[in-house]
Structure 1
Amino acid sequence: MGNRITPLSEKQEKRSASSTIAGYLYQFERSVIELLQLDRPEDVIRVEGIEDIDIWSSTETVVQIKYYSAKKFSLPIIREAVYELLLSFADRPLRNYILYIHCGEGGEIPEKLTLDKIKECLTYQVGNNKGKRIDEDSPFDDSTLKGFAENNFRIYSGPTLDDQMNITISELAKSLECDREEAKILHHGRAVQYIHQIAVRKKDEDRIISKEDFIKHLKIREQLYNRWHKQLLGDKRFHGEIAKKLKKAKYNDKSKSRGISLEVNEDNVGSVKQLAIELAGDLDVSKARTRKAKPWTLILRGDKQLIKMVKTGLLEKKYYFNDGYESINFSHDYFDASPIVNTKRTDVVSKRSFYIRVVGEGAIKPVCSMLCKLDCLILLDSNETWYREISSSIPTEINAIKIEDLNSLLREVAL
């Protein structure tokens, strides 16, 4: 016999936070829409900044969002919001200020307020008195109020929460070039949850995101497909397909400058260290390396101490590396420099100044446009768009594979 949930008492019903939760959902949904509707990939928004949404695009705009499912529009219900926007306007009058509001019980929502309506909005009744201004302690002059009302302030009437969700799904489908069903099932929840994660970050600079980075975060279709494809084919056939893909992209050509980008963490640091050693030995120590052979580049995302462990593993095996002096002051010129080699009469290398480039992502990302391009680059479980700046060909994305399996595949491809 199943457990029966005890009904709530009238007092307990009153503690329901459904309207508050709906308000936050409404704000996060609107944040997704504003982000996807930005003009340029590099344009950004900040959530929970000056207001609910701060927008940096062709103009600077701040947006305050209000969701009243059971209220009718009136000037008193927007008094606090207008006052807060006025405070921001007085500090920086060049911004645009938007109040985005939904009132479920109707009422005509004006797009603009006249000077008289602004004053009426800021005034509330105190007993039998004619009224008291909310800004009484530090009142705004008429010139400030007029400039705000006529030039900088707008009110937008928003749809219901359900209708706004549908708008979000449509914007996701357009931005991710998919149908509405995929946008709803695969991307909608992920998009809203990501905005929620950003909103609770402590530092304001961590609550800023660009349109480009947001879309990149949402593009997980290939990752999910690869995981499904791997389950369908089985490990052996799936790995065989990847090996063919790598050979076709010339990862077996030692004269090419080849690279791999992957995440290093506490669980895989041993495997990453072994991969680095194999790459330093060009994955096949039995074959002599000629002057034409170029060292691999290994780009690591992760904690600096873990990256240091990988480098230490190389030194233990007598494999010198080039990291551009990233622990001191990264030099892209030194990082790009070719190794100094000693050769035998047959052009076979007997010794070189370094055998592999190993560097943290944080060191090269800011200067990626200055680096010499790799001929081919493997991105393991990543779709970072900036990597295209350091590869002359489209990076090879590989997902749903372990580091040790990648190691084995590269040895197979090198044969």
Structure 2
Amino acid sequence: MSKRSATETILGYVYQFDYTIFNLLNLDNMEDSITVEGIEDVDVKTSDEEMAIQCKYYAKSEYNHSIIAKPIRLMLNHFQQVKEGNKKQVNYYLNGHYKCGQNKLKMPISVEYLKKHFLTYTSQKVKHEYHIELGLDDTDLEDFIQKLNINIDAASYVDQYDKIIDSLKKLFNCSSFQADHYFYNNGLKVIKELAIQDRIEDRYISKRQFLDKIDNKNLLFNEWFIALKGKKEFLANLRKEYFTSLNTSPFERFFLIEIDERNYLRAEFKELLFLISRKWSNFSKRAQTPFCPYVYIHNIPDKELISLKSELYREGFKISDGFDFSGASFSPESICESANHYNQIKLKILNQIDYLNLTLKEANKTKEVYQFYIENSYYTNTHQEIKHIKIQIDEIKDIKEII
């Protein structure tokens, strides 16, 4: 966590997103729910309480009454509408994290303290007494105070994040990496998408719905998650988790790579193929079980695939594609022929996604599938014994940093 390279502005937004995730994970019942950007930043509804929560992060600022005065006035405005029968009654929560100055707030607050420090202010040289403007008396303010909960010593960004990761590890029985890169990453995406919805009813989600949405082992290229981690660290973490090994085992590895024709450069892609072959092959004379990887290129035009393979052949880079002669049908047995020092097969290219399952069925070693996709996953593995990792990428050169 200490290496997170997020700006203070980004942290302010993500702290609120994290607070929403934290509240969802800690709801007692699956049907309890939250609304993002409802009455306040987060509205929580349980079987016995409705809460409107304002959540702010000021890790570099000292606490002053003026920082929370306006949010309290907005809460009081809602309270006045409840009193008039125009809004539903809720309890109000104000949570904030500050660098220092917490001793300035004397709790519990009295009616006079509330009026002096939060409801009386000057704007454009005009003194305002907000409670009077709303037509509220001391009895009303006392009632409001009973419904107001102020915490200016809320958890730090790191502490809150650590609690979320611990909760996710327990809920999904997973590693710290999976809790962070899968479930927390997915959670940020879910909350961000809720926050941008126009209609308040579309910003609602129950605990059950949230857990179902984040239970997804696709590695997402989520801009908020990348902003927090830093792209370099994010890619390095993926490499460490999936592609770092002191002894590369002789497995059948399948690299499924989606290209975007608008940004595709053959020279760049060839560099990636050379890298995959170099790092995930062993066909030396001394190798007891020689091997080389398979590649499927998603969305590549047929003509470009032919040109790519022809260029590899001309450069002496031997490949196998499962076709033994002109007019032959695809042969899983042929493409599964072991690469070795004598045949010098450096890469096996699957022309179509349909050939993948045929090849997986024919291959008799341990199999691993690594799928790199741009927007949506395009292959679903139905075999539980096959390791299948799905990673969303932003551009082809990201793969070079991962593998």
TM-score, normalising length from structure 1? 0.48
Which protein, 1 or 2, shows the higher relative CO under an 8 Å CA cutoff with sep ≥ 6? 2
